[in-house]
Amino acid sequence: MGPNIREGRADQGRERAIGRPSSPRWELDIVAYSARDNLLRVVECKSYLDSPGVRATAFDGSNPNHAERYKLFNDPELRRVVFNRLGLQLAECGACRPDPKIRLCLACGRVYESGRTKLRAHFAAQDWDLFCATSNATGFWNAPSISKCRRKRNIGSRIMATS
């Protein structure tokens, strides 16, 4: 059994650093590692199968209500603290080499149509990856529509296969 990749209970110093006096453990949906590149991909998963999809306004600062769902994307200090701890924890247990590069990713079932180009441009500017099951636009993950899938799929292996 591999190590638990849940970020451990924040100590008081880290809680102060991220501005949250009683910080929970940060749960990361998927963590994928490429030993060749010493790259950790931290993937946030959102299905949005019964909605218009992920909106660009959740990431560009124009809608704080939408942004609340994506704390690691919208809070640079939180991201720095969590990613630093994740890299240290995985290196200490031998799951990756020291000082891995860590890239934030979003895997989603849908992207709100009118904001697709803006969202893709924002992710590219931040050096983040965007994987979308319903788009075949350049830079998106070309997977079959989730509604058409008849069997269970391992999204982690699908993401790593696109690298």
pLDDT tens readout for residues 120-133: 999 999 999 998 86
Check residue 9 and give its pLDDT.
Answer: 47
Check residue 93 and give its pLDDT.
Answer: 95
In a 3-state reduction of DSSP, which class is residue 40? Answer: strand
**Alpha-carbon distance values, 93 to 2, 14, 86, 96 (Å):** 9, 21, 11, 8
Check residue 132 and give its pLDDT.
Answer: 84
Rounded to an integer, the average pLDDT of 37-48 is 92
Of 45, 6, 39, whose CA–CA distance to 130 is shortest?
A: 45
pLDDT of 74 > 90? The answer is yes
Give the containing element (helix H, strand E) for 86. Answer: helix 76-92
pLDDT of 41 > 60? The answer is yes
Neighbours of 32 (CB within 10 A): 16
pTM, to two decimals: 0.71
pLDDT of 57 > 70? The answer is yes
Check residue 155 and give its pLDDT.
Answer: 38
pLDDT of 118 > 50? The answer is yes
pLDDT of 5 > 80? The answer is no
Check residue 25 and give its pLDDT.
Answer: 73
Domain residue ranges of the chain, discontinuous segments joined by + = 12-161
Return the structure tokens found at 57.
């306004």
pLDDT of 102 > 50? The answer is yes
pLDDT of 3 > 80? The answer is no
Rounded to an integer, the average pLDDT of 72-94 is 94
**Alpha-carbon distance values, 36 to 110, 111, 116 (Å):** 31, 31, 31
Instruction: Please name the amino acid found at residue 157.
Output: S
Q: Is the dihedral of CA 43, 152, 134, 36 positive or negative?
A: positive
pLDDT of 52 > 60? The answer is yes
E-assigned strands of the chain?
Answer: 30-34, 39-46, 101-108, 129-132
